Amino acid sequence: MKIHAMHKRHLPLYAKYAMDNHGKLFKAALRQFGSWANALVATGVTKKPRTKKLYKGRLSLLNALSDALERHTVKNMPQALKLEAAHYFGSLEKAIATVKKQGKRLPGWNRRKIITVLSRMHRSRHSLAYGSTRRNVPAVVSAAEAHFGSCGKALYAAGVDPNLYFVHHEWRNLAKV
């Protein structure tokens, strides 16, 4: 079947790609199986229909893949991420090549961009105290919290001592009470 041929040639298998580039095949799959996801399952390309998207699209997937490549080797990368990359790009190798090709031009936030922005702000002597950063550049704070868990962890990853910017008041120290 043609869907198997697409899979063997490592072409993307997401519905929009099939609709735009293989319109007749897409329409035939809808007629015969009811949906593109059901056609992928029926032909044996995937095991079960995807009930929920893990990422908001190709760009979100590229950012997640970029983060995963910084943290893990390709072998230790989460299986769900590998499957999504193969689904959207045809193969994991093609997805990694796209990440490397786009490099710093990836839209949205990823760990590398957050570290770069925080390092640049630190070098230019901007205040990185949580309150002022939250007021002046809320997108960086939100991205840091989403990708690192906290602003302090993001600062630490950027090579900046978080204790320089986070004030610890004496009255908060419960050990002395």
Q: Assess whether 62 and 98 both reside in one domain.
A: yes
Predicted pLDDT of residue 24: 92
Contacts 24+ apart (CB under 8 A), 165-173: 165/127, 165/128, 165/129, 165/130, 166/129, 166/130, 167/129
Please answer whether residues 5 and 47 qualify as being in contact, where contact means their C-beta atoms are separated by less than 8 angstroms: no
Is residue 80 domain-resident?
A: yes
Please answer whether residues 33 and 3 qualify as being in contact, where contact means their C-beta atoms are separated by less than 8 angstroms: no
Q: How many CB atoms lie within 10 A of CB 144?
A: 26
Q: Assess whether 117 and 100 both reside in one domain.
A: no
Q: Assess whether 92 and 115 both reside in one domain.
A: no
Q: What is the pLDDT along the chain (177 residues), one digit of tens a residue?
A: 788 888 888 888 888 888 889 899 989 988 998 888 888 888 888 776 665 666 677 777 888 888 888 777 888 888 888 888 888 888 888 888 888 887 666 677 878 888 889 999 999 988 888 888 889 889 889 888 888 888 888 888 888 888 877 766 554 444 554
Is residue 81 domain-resident?
A: yes
Domain count, the chain: 3
pTM (two decimals):
0.54
Predicted pLDDT of residue 173: 46
**For residues 61-88, b (16+ Cβ closer than 10 Å) or e, as one string?**
bbbbbbbbbeeeeeeebeeebbebbbbb
Domain that holds residue 84: 58-105
- The tokens for 167 are 């004030």
Predicted pLDDT of residue 51: 59
